[in-house]
Amino acid sequence: MNDYFPVACADTLSKIGLLVKARRLAQGLRQADLTQAIGVSPHTLRKIESGSERVDLRSFMLVLWRLGLTEVAFNTLDGIEHSSEIARFTQDEDAHASLASKRVRLSKPKPGDF
């Protein structure tokens, strides 16, 4: 499974990478300026801009945040905490805390199951 990465996911990362580079250039930032400002390595920024899937999430989010792209990249997530997908597992206002405590419980296999 480590060799498999869905084409749709790779395409999305590639588009976000192009968006990151375009925004950085529009803001007149060199790669060195951006990496120094947020503490991300130049190698990591190059991987993000090229659409690599091998980037840690923290670095990815820092780059998006610094360039003002979090809303652009994740605009479909607005109001997600109130969606039926999440609301069916939560009963209170703090959806994240309520959902974080949920677990999947699997029944123990019986000898006759095999």
Domains: count for the chain: 1
Q: How many residues does the chain have?
A: 114
Residue 107 forms part of a structural domain: no
Residue 100: inside a domain: no
CATH number of residue 41's parent domain? 1.10.260.40
> By residue range, what is the domain housing residue 63?
7-76
pTM: 0.73
CA distance 63 to 51: 13
Backbone angles phi, psi at 99, to 5 degrees: -75, -30
Asked if the structure places residue 52 within a domain, the reply is yes
Residue ranges, the chain, pLDDT below 70: 1, 77-99, 114
- 8-20 pLDDT, tens digit per residue, is 999 999 999 999 9
